[in-house]
Amino acid sequence: MTVNDQDMEKLKYIWTRTWWTFVILGIITLALGLFTLVNPQAAATIPIRLLGVFILLDGVFKIITAVIEKRYRWGLRIVAGLVEMGLGAVVFALSFTITQALLTILIYLLAFGLLIAGAVAVSRAVAGRQSWQTLAVGILELIFGIILITLTNASAVLFIWATGLFFLIIGGSLTFVGLRIRQAGRQLKPYISPNVVEGTAVYEDGPSPGTVVEGEVLLLPEETEE
- Model-level pTM? 0.56
The answer on 200 and 187 residing in a single domain is: no
Looking at residue 62, its pLDDT comes to: 83
The answer on 41 and 78 residing in a single domain is: yes
On whether residue 85 sits in a domain, the answer given is: yes
- The whole domain housing 12 covers 5-113+151-193
On whether residue 140 sits in a domain, the answer given is: no
- Number of compact structural domains in the chain: 2
The answer on 226 and 159 residing in a single domain is: no
The answer on 226 and 155 residing in a single domain is: no
On whether residue 139 sits in a domain, the answer given is: no
On whether residue 202 sits in a domain, the answer given is: yes
The answer on 67 and 34 residing in a single domain is: yes
Q: Which long-range contacts (CB under 8 A, 24 or more apart) does 204-212 make?
A: 204/3, 205/1, 205/2, 205/3, 206/2
pLDDT (tens, 9 = 90+) of the chain, 226 residues, equals 445 556 666 666 656 667 778 888 889 889 888 988 888 877 788 888 888 889 898 888 888 888 877 766 778 888 888 999 999 999 989 888 888 888 888 888 888 998 998 888 888 888 776 677 788 888 888 888 888 888 777 777 788 888 888 889 998 998 888 888 777 766 666 655 554 444 444 444 444 444 444 444 444 444 444 4
The answer on 204 and 103 residing in a single domain is: no
